[in-house]
Amino acid sequence: MNRILLLASLLLICASAFAQLSITTINQADVITFDQTLDGINNGIFNASGFSPSPNEGQLDSDGLIITGFSDGDVLLGETKLDGDFARGASEGGVGTGGIYAFKVAENDYALGLQPGGTDLTPGDIIIKIINNTGGVVNSIDISYDIYEYNDQNRSCSVNLSTSENSIDYTPKASTDYLTQEVAEATPTWIKQEQNLSQNQNIPNSATFYLKFTIDDAGGSGSRDEIAIDNISIRFNDTPTSITSPTLSTCSIVPHPVKEFFTFNSDKTVKHLMIYDTTGQIVKQIDERSKQIVVPVSALSKGIYLLHVTFEDNSKACKKIVIQ
């Protein structure tokens, strides 16, 4: 009898240790794609059918990924929520009801979809729990992820990342702050922005680490755009990162929206300035070392573009521009 109880206890300990996202290999990225099973995050292709600590096909694992800030309440660690805001199903975008969706952002590509509303995600959080099971101490981490927006409403939302070692004290990562476009597109499509972060981080073996994405209103009025997060890559490294953390720049684009030209102003000297269209192609590049650069855009078609700027200290900035 005692042996049976001991075995049951050991099984429970093992189950709880690997219930969240468990990273077992050092210097190798684990990627949350939502298109295939990843233990501790999702079971099979995500279809927004709810949260459970033992997820069925298409569901999210509430032992490793939780949500706060909905009118239907929060999903806490280990809870089961299978309806309402927590299970809005699959969609290609253009929805209006607040909740969690599986947004199809490209062919055969589903992402964790968020539709903010008056009492949903204003603000709210997505929290991912990760455990270091590499067998050694982590000294730095690399994080990357894709943010998608479907700009069908005249309101801007923010998506900001923070990290924590204890799920209580979070450190904002301002270099990854993101704003959706306030002015709605006449014919909206999914637009992707890749975010990257590298930092020194000491995580002992068997210790936990948390990522938190906070969503909130940022500007405009009325209904809100659809947002999706995908391809969340977490890499634990055994050596410190060689990347320093340069000071953030204060920069602006005037006027905006843009017609024939705009002026990029910054408190730091620019090294390179590139404009990308929504397919990821570079449509304009300027190599000029200055804190104020006039950028002609009359040759570009109307629409949304991404402005990528590299400064002399190798820090970077990314801003969205709308050409009318």
Q: Which tens digit of pLDDT belongs to each residue from 183-222?
A: 888 899 998 888 888 899 999 999 999 999 999 998 888 9
- pTM for the structure as a whole: 0.75
Domain limits, CATH 2.60.40.1930, in the chain? 251-323
Look up the CATH number of domain 19-237: 2.60.120
SS3 content of the chain, % helix, strand, coil (to 5): 5, 50, 40
Other Cβ atoms closer than 10 A to 85: 24
With 70 as the cut, is the pLDDT of residue 30 above it? yes
* SS3 of residue 217 by DSSP: strand
Query: Is the distance from CB of 284 to CB of 276 less than 8 angstroms?
Result: no
* SS3 of residue 186 by DSSP: coil
| HSE toward the beta carbon, residue 123, CA cutoff 13 A | 11
Instruction: Give the residues across from 117 on adjacent strands.
Output: 120
Choice between 10 and 74, residue whose per-residue pLDDT is larger: 74
**What six digits make up the tokens of 180?**
């959706």
pLDDT on residue 321: 84
Lowest model confidence (mean pLDDT) among 12-16, 83-87, 310-314:
12-16
Supply the DSSP symbol for 84.
G
Other Cβ atoms closer than 10 A to 289: 11
Domain limits, CATH 2.60.120, in the chain? 19-237
140-153: average pLDDT: 94
Look up the CATH number of domain 251-323: 2.60.40.1930
Cα–Cα separations (whole angstroms), residue 104 to 48, 150, 190: 11, 11, 9
| Euclidean distance between CA atoms 95 and 97, whole angstroms | 6
| Euclidean distance between CA atoms 239 and 37, whole angstroms | 29
